[in-house]
A and B are shown apart, each in its own frame.
Chain A
């Protein structure tokens, strides 16, 4: 079967053994449901983002130098891509929509992990690597958002980089170091561009680590039990390759519909204000991050003190790192944990509520709602260690 070329390569790399152990003969539980498709989708979107990004960079110019009519070189270069580069509009919309879709699939992927207890022993490190991926993704998205140098880019970056000013003593210095001056400007654009290119490459490497860690401890499954019998497992290929391929096609239906018919997605994926060139003398009526960062923005806004808000926002992400050690129940899947099931579903709703509050213009009511949602966000994690004391778990099945 082996061609001479493949034999030559295999002799020097052990490619065949790797492919067999990691892909074609990799044993997977036979009962994985469609929630397990989002990992492969996340990988697909990451590849799409890197590829489209490489082509965009061939035309993009990171400069805040002013051009005619209150625009800048950076803004002009984006419009040049949209108008004059062959299929530039397609590449740019794929990239901009891809950023949002990346978070859609990754949030689903994380939610699946939470629900079925995929973060629990022996997969703690797999989860922690995943949280690192999430943080780098959010960083990359934030850096990329600045690049078009529109109003929301500019003011979003101004608001977020000013958060560092809340840190006692060193805050202002760190802020200036990050921004490259006293306010967001040309140096900020240059360094954010550099970091926007760097982070996805880091991401690609860490995703490799994530997949490696998965292939050491093997996949969890909807029942959340360890598999012992060989007939409970099926080879990854052809079963999950075809299932993932079907998932990819189904995902592309949504992705391409948005790219071709509704790329701004009603101002959620590409914000209206970002079609207005950056103007440091005029704040937009309402500054809010893109939808995928709004839950954390609400946590930030829920505190009167800026320092407390920043600390809470940091804690809300940092607490994800220790989740595997907070959750002490021996049972993994929420299917067999009645109390946890209600708590985790409420947690998902809670994050959506947080997201809504952060996206909307602040009102007194929404502020209270946001504060309650913030309280539940932390309560969920704090309650986890005490859950096994009173939660009566259902009996686990023998096998799948």
Chain B
């Protein structure tokens, strides 16, 4: 009953034009540009490694199957490599974290979001993922424990504790950490829309054809209309 009332209040607020949540309250931090190239197999594979070594400790990517790691040419693992990664899991199973959602809620207070659609599902996409991973800082007010204060995350307090150990890094590590963040952003960009390279490749042919077709039909139109007298 309480829930219904709460929902009604939220809806009323949204309808009447003053949403209770501030919009994009993410500290207004500027997102850094990530150089991602979804056709670069090297980068995608490095991103896969970061994903399986770090992210998959908590997060899943349920729409990416182990079979997909072989089927998508941008990843292009061999059957042996995939077998090693998946262990006992089925080839058709998604990349599910070994940490159960219940345990994650106990440890971190909330369920880690599935990362299959994290890039299309966030404003800024790959830039957001990259910036978030490299935006851990000490809370200027000292209220949020170290590793949970993030200048890019809306509200600044994030449940995910600094996955790449960005806070503890020294200047010598920075380039490598940035590289890792960028690679995993590239990998997740591909996972968010796995046929995007095919789509663009076909799109070039389609556009080429349509430009020719438009030109031909335009000339034909001019030709047919020649005998209509202008007033």
Write the residues of chain A forming the contact surface with B, with a CB cutoff of 8 angstroms.
Answer: 30-31, 68-71, 79, 82-83, 89-90, 93, 155, 158-159, 162-163, 182-183, 231, 234, 238-239, 242-243, 245-246, 249-250, 252-253, 256-257, 259-261, 264, 267, 272-273, 275-276, 280, 283, 285-287, 300-301, 304, 306, 309, 361-362, 367, 399-400
Contact = CB atoms under 8 A, between A and B. Distances in A.
Interface centre among B11, B18, B23, B62 (most CB of A within 10 A): B11
B122 interface: yes
B17 A183 contact: no
Given A69-B60, A301-B17, A276 B228 contact: no
A30 B229 CA distance: 9
A69 B114 contact: yes
A89 B194 CA distance: 9
B217 A89 contact: no
Interface stretch (B41-49, B74-82, B175-183, B202-210): B202-210
A257 B39 CA distance: 20
A389 to B, nearest CB: 32
A77 B17 CA distance: 33
Interface stretch (B132-140, B161-169, B219-227): B219-227
Given A285-B22, A362-B19, A250 B214 contact: yes
B70 interface: no
Given A162-B15, A306-B12, A286 B120 contact: no
A269 B62 CA distance: 25
Given A239-B228, A246-B218, A253-B214, A79 B116 contact: yes
Contacts of A89: 193, 195, 199
B85 interface: no
Contact of B23 (A158, A183, A361): A361
Interface of B: 4, 7-8, 10-12, 14-25, 60, 62-63, 68, 94, 96, 101, 111, 113-114, 116-117, 120-123, 154, 192-195, 199-200, 202-203, 206-207, 210-211, 213-214, 217-218, 220-221, 224-225, 228-229, 231
A256 B18 CA distance: 38
Going nearest first, the 10 A-B pairs with the smallest beta carbon separation are A260-B203, A275-B121, A361-B23, A362-B17, A246-B217, A69-B114, A249-B214, A275-B120, A301-B17, A275-B117
Q: Is the interface of A mostly helix, strand, loop or mixed?
A: helix
A162 B11 CA distance: 8
Contacts of A280: 7
A355 to B, nearest CB: 15
B214 A246 contact: yes
B124 to A, nearest CB: 9
A253 B19 contact: no
A159 B11 contact: yes
Given A70-B114, A155-B14, A275-B120, 12 more contacts: A30-B228, A68-B60, A68-B62, A79-B117, A183-B4, A239-B224, A245-B217, A249-B214, A253-B211, A257-B207, A283-B14, A400-B231
Contact of A256 (B23, B120, B210): B210
Contacts of A275: 117, 120-121, 192
Contact of B19 (A71, A158, A267, A283): A283
Contacts of A243: 221, 225
A246 B215 CA distance: 8
Contacts of A283: 10, 14, 19-21
Between B18, B121, B218, the greatest number of chain A beta carbons within 10 A of the residue's beta carbon is seen for B121
17 contacts: A69-B60, A71-B114, A79-B116, A159-B15, A162-B8, A183-B7, A234-B228, A242-B217, A242-B221, A242-B225, A252-B210, A261-B199, A272-B123, A273-B121, A285-B21, A300-B15, A362-B17
A256 B15 contact: no
A224 to B, nearest CB: 15
B202 to A, nearest CB: 7
Contact of A83 (B194, B206, B220, B229): B194
A166 B23 CA distance: 26
Name the residue among A30, A89, A249, A253 with the largest chain B CB count within 10 angstroms: A249
B19 A83 contact: no
B120 A264 contact: yes
Q: Which of B21, B60, B203 has the most CB of A within 10 A?
A: B203
Nearest to B120: A275
Contacts of B120: 264, 272, 275
Nearest to B194: A83
Contact of A261 (B24, B96, B203): B203
A12 B108 CA distance: 74
A231 B116 CA distance: 63
B19 A159 contact: no
Contacts of B101: 69
Given A246-B214, A285-B22, A71 B199 contact: no
Contacts of A300: 15
Contacts of A250: 214
Contacts of B114: 69-71
B227 to A, nearest CB: 9
B121 A276 contact: yes
Contacts of A231: 229
Nearest to A362: B17
Contacts of A183: 4, 7
A70 B63 CA distance: 13
A68 B63 CA distance: 10
Given A82-B193, A256-B207, A306-B16, A70 B111 contact: yes
Contacts of A93: 199
A293 to B, nearest CB: 14
